[in-house]
Amino acid sequence: MASYDVFAKPSALKELESVGSRKVRRSIAGRIQSLAQKPRPSGCRKLAGGDRYRIRIGRYRVVYSVRVFKVGHRRDIYR
């Protein structure tokens, strides 16, 4: 199975730090890291108005997107 890179915005990391319980923070961080193996896990929902998805972790939600940066011929792609 393919593995993907997971990037978090600095603002999202600050929001994660502000979550009350350490146990809940670890649970959320674990679910975010699991997106590297399965970017659209069961239970995820596509949000209206764009290419964003959400997963639920108890009372918390993680909103994320799956992005492709560039597509092109191999001679031109790195320019």
pLDDT tens per residue across span 1-25: 678 899 999 999 999 999 988 999 9
Q: Are 32 and 25 in contact (CB under 8 A)?
A: no
Q: What is the pLDDT of residue 71?
A: 84
Coil, strand or helix at 63: strand
Average pLDDT over residues 55-77: 88
Confidence tier at 75 by pLDDT (50, 70, 90) = confident
Q: Which residues pair with 62 in a beta bridge?
A: 55
Q: Which residues are within 8 A (CB) of 15 and not within 5 positions of it... i.e. 6 or more apart?
A: none
DSSP state of 65: E
DSSP string, 26-58: HHHHHHHHHTTT-SS-TT-EEPTTSSEEEEEET
Residue with tokens 């679910």: 31
